[in-house]
Structure 1
Amino acid sequence: MDKNTEWSQNLNVQVMCKDCKEIPPNLVEEFSSGDLVCDTCGVVIGDRIVDTRSEWRTFSNDDQGNDDPSRVGDAANPLLNGSQLSTTIAFGDSSVRSRELYRAQGKQGSDKSTKALLAAYKEIGAHCDAV
């Protein structure tokens, strides 16, 4: 090894089919089943593959009233100290337990200090826009 050449470990992970041993491997990620499959021979190389694709699925405007199927919420506001990071419980079925959870969250969710902060920030923004 030359003194000027730096040694570095190859940390790349190379997955290949144990049956075909093709290079480059012909692997397909089937997100519907969560499997990594060799497209040549059909052997399942890995299961329970995590879908790393983006969750953003629509670009609809909020004022149209359409449901947004994405599971991504609003961005966190650093000025509110994490108080907007909450869980929303939907009142879907008419079971007693669902109704009780919905009511309990309604009582818990009304945070007056957060509403006051939002109103103050809105007013500050209006004054800044006027200047």
Structure 2
Amino acid sequence: MRDFLRGKEMKKLILLFIILFCSSICFSKTYEIPESWKKDHFLRLTRQDLDLELEENYIRNRLSINIMEQSHRHIMHSLERGHWRKMTMSRRRYGRRRYYRYRGCSLNEYARMRGIR
């Protein structure tokens, strides 16, 4: 029963992490400083400073999104070559059941495909 609970908790944590990640991406895409904030918090900053800051944020976000798109492409690429592999988990926790786990292609395979090695 305890193991079952632990599994549930892990699922909840993973789900929470995914939701947070997605919301942060959405927020970073649509982020702009509201007018009220400009009045209150940024009184000491000039308009030019604000514009520069926004521009920097925009560039940084574009870069991170770009990197994410690239890594996503790489993940999809390795998934095309992947397969299900039978894994024996630790007996203490799972008994003797075997779990099938998805494995992408190995690094060597990936390097060979890309012509790195």
TM-score computed with the length of structure 1 as normaliser:
0.25
TM-score computed with the length of structure 2 as normaliser:
0.27
Larger relative contact order (Cα-Cα within 8 Å, sequence gap ≥ 6): 2
Q: Hey, which of these two has a bigger chunk of helix by percent?
A: 2
**Rg (Cα) greater in structure:** 1
